[in-house]
Structure formats: C-alpha cells, structure tokens
Structure 1
Amino acid sequence: MLAVTLACTGCASVMNDSMHPVKVETKTQTGQLVTGAECKMTNDYGTFTVKSGDTTQVRRSSKDLDIVCRDPQNPDANARAISRANSGMWGNIIIGGGIGAIIDHNKGTAYTYPTWIQLVFGQTLIFDRTAEKEGQPTIGAQPADSTPAANSAAGQVVSAK
C-alpha cells in the first residue's frame, strides 16, 4: 500500500516542498557587495522579489529562473539560474515511479535552483547548480552567446517570404 501511495504522489513531492530558498547577492564589477538592490526573479510560476543580501522562497519549476537586480547607482545585473533535476526525480526513475516522475516534473518539485548566487552589476551571468559548493556562492558564468557579434545577430529580424 505504501509503495502504491509513493508511486502515485511522486518521490520528489514527498521529499521536497514546492518552494525553494534562494539567496541573492549583488556585487559591483570591482567585487564590492551591494545590499538592498531590488531583485525580481521570474519563472513560469510567477515573479518573486527580494532585496540583495536576503534569501527568499521561489516556486520550484522545470523552467529556468530569470533574475534582474536594479540599484540606482549601478547598471542592471541580469542572471539565469538553471533548473536541474534533484534527487527526488532520480529516486522516481530508479525505483520505477514513472508516474511519480511525471507528477513531480509537472509540479516542479523534482527540480532545484542554485541556493546562493552573486550577480554582478553590468553583467549577465548564468548560474548552474552543478557548480555549487557547500557554504559558498555558486560561480556565475558568462553566457555562450555574450559576444557582441552574437548579441547583434540575435537582435536582427529576419523576414520569411
């Protein structure tokens, strides 16, 4: 009976809450921490706001988390936090809970974002939980398409005939 219940509810749903804590910090390009910047984090479940230096709860999702932090003294800091499957999803697959995996995927409970990120004003960074180290902020990386030529090409409109 217990096995049937777990298979139907999903392993990640049992192990993980639908909300996930994310600490957001902002830094200048010289590395100085700036607290109190207004940060908005958005995924397919909504927008969550936090002041830099604080931790907030965001809704888990299979979709990435887009973040913009604004401070009157600095250019915007932009980031994307990559959503990665967590141990609950793998538990579903290993134990044979295909139904549970589908439920947890649809509810978002099978996914986790990096738990501590530091955005840099004037930059766009990508944060991936696979680079996360216990007790340290996740290291942000420049997006692959951050070259001026790629950004220029991305902004062009191509008309189909």
Structure 2
Amino acid sequence: MYFRPVAGVSALLALLSGCASLTESTQQNVLVQTVLDHREIAGVGCVLYNDAGKWFVTTPARVTLRKSSGPLRIDCQKEGAGWAYEKVDSKADGNLWGNVVLTAGVGYFIDKNTGAGYDYPATLTVVMHADAQRDGLPPPASGVTLY
C-alpha cells in the first residue's frame, strides 16, 4: 500500500527533472551595446521590454532581464546622436526540447509560460540611425529582427 504513492511521486519527479523551469533560471544577463556608423556609441538610453517586464539601461551595459518565449523589444535614443527600434526573438534551448520527450509535453508548456526554456542572445548589438534620418519621416515600424 505504501509503495504506490512513493512510486508515483518518484515517477513524477523523474519526469520533471528535465524541466527547464526546475533546472534553469527565468532570468538572463545580457550585454547591450549600440553602434552608429560602424562605431560603438556610448551613453545611449535604452528601454528593453517583453511580456515579462521592462528594463532601462545606458549603453554599454549589462542588464538582468526576465526571459520569455516572446520577443524582446529594444527602443534606444541619444539626443543629437540617433535612435533605434529593434526586436529580438527568443530561441528555445535544449532543455525545452528535452521536456517534450520526458514529460509528454507538460514540461514544455510550463517552460513556455515561465520563459525558462528560452534564451535571448547574450550580446545585443543595436544599430542606431542618425537623427538626420528621422526628419520628415514617421516613426519607424517595430519588428526589425536583430542578429
């Protein structure tokens, strides 16, 4: 009688052992740098945001953000220098795909919701546009994919 509940709990823990939400953090440290005319430019104010939060940095800087399965948006501006609107897609990591096999898909949905099974690039290089390019033009559309 006592064996069944213990075996059931042990089996559940074994299935969840591959779960990225148990083995990985939902936080990620990234480096944000800005480039204008093929040169790094410092002192640019940037806002990074996704469906899990919003973070403010002055480049170049490291910031710890909350991971998500959704894209990370980056809006930067420096008075007299330039502006940028970028979008960075998150990528599923190896632990996420292990969940499909080990947990029959249950761990996949947990990791997708917490962001633990996803990563953004470790270095985010944002390409700035000169202020002169903005004159007379409407604001740029979001959605430029950053590589």
Interval of TM-score (by shorter of Structure 1 and Structure 2)? 0.7 to 0.9
Give me the whole-angstrom Cα distance separating, in 1, the residues matched to 2:10 and 2:111. Answer: 18
Give me the whole-angstrom Cα distance separating, in 2, the residues matched to 1:51 and 1:37. Answer: 5
2:33 to 25, 30, 38: 25
Q: 1:7–1:99: 8 Å Cα contact kept in structure 2?
A: no
Kindly provide the amino acid, as one letter, of the partner of residue 7 in structure 1: L
2:58 to 51, 55, 61: 51
Please report the RMSD computed on the Cα atoms of aligned residues, expressed in angstroms: 2.0
Give the deviation of 1:3 after TM superposition: 4.5
Distance 1:122 1:99, change over 3 A: same
What TM-score comes out, normalization by structure 1 length?
Answer: 0.71
Identity %: 28
Give the deviation of 1:89 after TM superposition: 0.6
Aligned to 1:94: 101
What TM-score comes out, normalization by structure 2 length?
Answer: 0.77
Aligned to 2:116: 109
The SS at the match of 1:126 is coil
Greater gyration radius: 2
The SS at the match of 1:39 is strand
1:5 to 13, 16, 23: 13
Distance 1:9 1:48, change over 3 A: farther
Tell which has more relative contact order, 1 or 2 (C-alpha 8 A, sep 6+). Answer: 2
Kindly provide the amino acid, as one letter, of the partner of residue 34 in structure 2: T
Give me the whole-angstrom Cα distance separating, in 1, the residues matched to 2:115 and 2:50. Answer: 11
Give me the whole-angstrom Cα distance separating, in 1, the residues matched to 2:93 and 2:145. Answer: 19
How many residues were matched structurally?
A: 127
Give the deviation of 1:25 after TM superposition: 0.4
Give the deviation of 1:95 after TM superposition: 2.2
The SS at the match of 2:25 is coil
Unaligned stretches of 5+ residues in structure 1: 128-139, 141-161
Aligned to 2:89: 82
Give the deviation of 1:2 after TM superposition: 4.8
